[in-house]
Amino acid sequence: IRAVIKQAITDNVRKADPNPKTIDARVTETIEKLYDSVLTRFKPAIIGEIKDLESIPEYLTNLNKKVAHEKPTFINIDKTLSQIIMGLDLMSTPNVIVVGPSGVGKTCAIKALAQRINEGKVPDFLKKKVIYSLNAGALISGKKYRGEFESALTRVLEAAKDNPNAIIFIDE
């Protein structure tokens, strides 16, 4: 498609100005203007630069804020939380996967961790962390073209990389 667009623009520029010395520069300029025009007209929220994780609420929910408003009560979750905290404390790969059948409390455990972070009842390395729940359904929905989902996910994860205090929780 790009080659066809470039050829059409080249043909139009050649008709307007047959000078071969300026054709390449004018074609490049016209293509850049075209791309800028398309991106500004059809720019979904995720295509632009993501300044911070709070700027994309349709994909991420700040669980620290959510549990602060809800004030949930968690029972018998200490062992699971200590295992999650130990996994997050690993130096080489601080990634945790919480696995289990539906309804056993995976999301509940992460919410309990967010509540403990709010209360300051966590080790020092977690005290400033913010847990974001990634809404995978919203991230996938509305994506018609190949690569749109991957692009959106990549941009969310790049924003997370820029925020060293972010913990991304991807739920079912």
For the residues 83-92, what does the mean pLDDT come to?
Answer: 86
Name the band, by pLDDT with cuts 50, 70 and 90, for residue 47.
very low
- Predicted local distance difference test score (pLDDT) of residue 145: 72
Tens digit of each residue's pLDDT (9 = 90 or more) over 4-19 = 777 777 777 777 777 7
Identify which of 118, 128, 117 has the alpha carbon closest to the alpha carbon of residue 84: 117
- pLDDT at residue 129 greater than cutoff 80: yes
- Predicted local distance difference test score (pLDDT) of residue 38: 53
Say which residues have a Cβ less than 8 Å from residue 98's Cβ, sequence separation at least 6: 80, 84, 106, 109, 110
